[in-house]
Amino acid sequence: MTSTRSNIVLIGMPGAGKSTVGVLLARRLGLDFTDTDRLIEQQAGRSLQAIVDADGHRALRRIEADALIALDCRHHVIATGGSAVYSDPAMAHLRRNGLIVHLHVALPVILDRVNDIATRGLAREAGQSLAALYHEREALYRRHADVGVDVSQCDPAASVEAVVASFKLVS
């Protein structure tokens, strides 16, 4: 973390471990934890998949961007939805008080971990494969991240340690 930014914002693909690692990272650093997917579901009163089914993936992206822009917290680990990076204004807002950490996971690992693509509430084009979504988003994750951490071969505890070690790269 930097002295001016008190949040750590995790970005990455579904299945990268943002929520799982985020909870452990928050505990390790003595920070609070916010999962923006859960926040969106609470605010909308329905699941991400219900939003996609009823209103489409672009509506979910708009709702997500609005929720991120409205987020006002300090000393939190924030696990974002995988599509947060589609909104430049939302990412700029998160960066103002947060260090953006890309949890990178190789495509074969993502394909192994995520097998509920039709029901997971992914903001993706109809019929878009997980591999196509991965290739579309990876450039966005790299562009928005202050630091990238490859956690492809890490369990959650090792992922936390890799993220903590990455802070030296941005100090």
3-state secondary structure 103-118: EECCHHHHHHHCCCCC
Contacts of 2 (CB under 8 A, 6+ apart): 99, 170, 171
Q: Which of 166, 159, 169 is nearest to 25 (CA)?
A: 159
Contacts of 102 (CB under 8 A, 6+ apart): 11, 12, 141, 142, 144, 145, 147, 148, 149
CATH architecture of 7-169: 3-Layer(aba) Sandwich (3.40)
pLDDT of residue 139: 94
- pTM of the complete model: 0.93
CA 83, distance to chain mean position in Å, is 7
pLDDT average per 10 residues of sequence, the chain (171 residues): 80 95 97 96 93 91 95 97 94 97 96 78 79 94 97 96 89 62
* Cβ contact 119:95 at 8 Å: no
Question: Which residue ranges make up each domain of the chain?
Answer: 7-169
